[in-house]
A and B are shown apart, each in its own frame.
Chain A
Amino acid sequence: MAPGTVDPWEGPGDDGGDEARREAVKEFGAAQPPARAKSEIHTLTIIGHVEGHLHLPSQTKTTKYEHILPQVVGINQSPDVKGLLVILNTVGGDVEAGLAIAELIRSLEKPVVSLVLGGGHSIGLPIAVAAHASFIAPTATITVHPVRMNGYVIGVPQTYEYLDRMQDRVIGFVVENSRITEERFREIMFRTGELARDVGTVLVGADAVREGLIDEVGGLDRALAALRRLIGQKEEGGGRRV
Chain B
Amino acid sequence: MFDPGPMPVPACLIWTVMPPEQWLAGWDQVHRDEREITDGHRILLVDRRDGRRQVARLISTDPLDYLNEAYFPGTQLP
Which residues on A are within 8 Å of B, measured CB to CB? 42, 49-50, 52-59, 64, 66-67, 70-71, 73-78, 81, 91-96, 98, 119, 121-123, 143, 145, 147-153, 163, 166, 170, 197-198
When distances are taken between beta carbons in the complex, the residues of chain B under 8 Å from A94 are: 12-15
Q: Select which of B8, B9, B14, B25 is within 8 A of A92 by beta carbon.
A: B14
Which of B14, B15, B16, B25 has the most CB atoms of chain A within a 10 A radius of its CB?
Answer: B15
Tell me if B18 and A67 are in contact (CB < 8 A): no
CB 8 Å contact bits of B65-77 with A (1 = contact, 0 = none): 1110000010000
Which residues on B are within 8 Å of A, measured CB to CB? 8-20, 23-27, 29-30, 32, 57-58, 60, 63-67, 73
Cα of A91 to Cα of B11 in the assembled complex, Å: 19
Q: Select which of A56, A81, A147 is within 8 A of B67 by beta carbon.
A: A81
Q: Select which of B16, B24, B29, B57 is within 8 A of A54 by beta carbon.
A: B24
Tell me if B12 and A53 are in contact (CB < 8 A): yes
**Residue of B whose beta carbon sits closest to that of A159:** B11
Cα of A226 to Cα of B38 in the assembled complex, Å: 41
Cα of A53 to Cα of B10 in the assembled complex, Å: 10
Tell me if A92 and B12 are in contact (CB < 8 A): no
Interface CB pairs A-B, < 8 A, 9: A54-B24, A57-B30, A74-B66, A74-B67, A123-B15, A149-B12, A150-B23, A170-B15, A197-B19
When distances are taken between beta carbons in the complex, the residues of chain A under 8 Å from B26 are: 57, 59
Q: Select which of B11, B20, B73 is within 8 A of A152 by beta carbon.
A: B11
Closest 3 CB pairs of A and B: A92-B16, A151-B11, A74-B66
For residue A233, give the distance in angstroms from its CB to the closest CB of chain B: 24
For residue A150, give the distance in angstroms from its CB to the closest CB of chain B: 5
Tell me if B27 and A56 are in contact (CB < 8 A): yes
Tell me if B14 and A149 are in contact (CB < 8 A): yes
